[in-house]
Amino acid sequence: MRAQGTSPVSTYALTVVLLGFLSCSSPQPPSAGGTAAAPPAPLILAVNEGEARTWRNWGDTPFIIKVDRQNGGSPDLFMGYEDIAPGLAIPAHRHPTADEIVFVHRGSGVAQVGQREAAFTEGATVYIPRGVRVTIRNTGTGPLSIVFIFSKPGFEEFMRDNSVPAGQAVLPLSENELAQIREKHRSHVVYEQP
């Protein structure tokens, strides 16, 4: 039975187009880390939910990967959450292929983005265009809690290679290991200091 107003030709054409699309579509490519991407799925995460990890060479600082190819299955976005301890700073770096937005959930600090420098408090948004140098420092007395969102995936694999899942022993990376990881992910992040 045809829907009213459709002809056999238009029904046939639609069927051919759909079959052609389905035969050409392929599963999501593996992520940069070699792990297959998850199929897209909606997520509703509390502040402490997601893939909890701990940096290996940055004061045992915890962070959470919220949305990426493995968590939620987004082929295009990467979002995370991080608490930066008082006095610590995200080292000067740039992302060659992705824009980044940092939203300050809690705390205060100073951001340097390109030639601009400004103090900020909770509720602030920092936009970092691709290729622009950035550093963010916690100048407050409590944690600086930030949400970071990237326009393209990739940096999350650098973060995984430099961290361990929460609860595992945190063994620092050697200078050689860190240099190898930075070289491996150079298309996603370039730090000023080795």
Q: Does residue 101 carry a pLDDT above 50?
A: yes
Q: Does residue 40 carry a pLDDT above 80?
A: yes
Q: Which residue has the higher pLDDT, 5 or 184?
A: 184
pLDDT at 163: 96
Q: Which pLDDT band, with edges at 50, 70 and 90, does 12 fall under? A: very low
Q: Does residue 194 carry a pLDDT above 70?
A: no
Over residues 65-79, the pLDDT tens digits come to: 999 999 999 999 999
How do the residues of the chain divide into helix, strand and coil, expressed in percent and rounded to 5? 20, 35, 50
Q: What CA–CA distances, in Å, run from 66 to 24, 47, 58, 151, 156?
A: 30, 9, 20, 14, 10
For 81-101, what is the mean pLDDT? Answer: 96
Share of the chain above pLDDT 70, in %: 80
> What distance in Å separates the CA atoms of residue 37 and residue 26, rounded to the nearest whole number?
12
Structural domains of the chain ordered from first start: 51-191 (2.60.120.10)
For 1-19, what is the mean pLDDT? Answer: 35
Residue 113, phi then psi, degrees to nearest 5 = -130, 115
Residues contacting residue 41 through CB under 8 Å, at least 6 positions apart: 72, 73
pLDDT at 36: 63
Order across the sheet with 78-84: list the strands: 125-128, 100-106, 144-150, 78-84, 62-67, 51-55, 163-165
For 81-94, what is the mean pLDDT? Answer: 96
Q: Does residue 175 carry a pLDDT above 60?
A: yes
Q: Does residue 49 carry a pLDDT above 60?
A: yes
CB atoms within 10 A of CB 32: 19
Say if residues 162 and 170 touch (Cβ distance below 8 Å). Answer: no
The pTM (predicted TM-score) of the whole model is 0.79
Q: Which pLDDT band, with edges at 50, 70 and 90, does 29 fall under? A: very low
Residue type, position 8, single letter: P
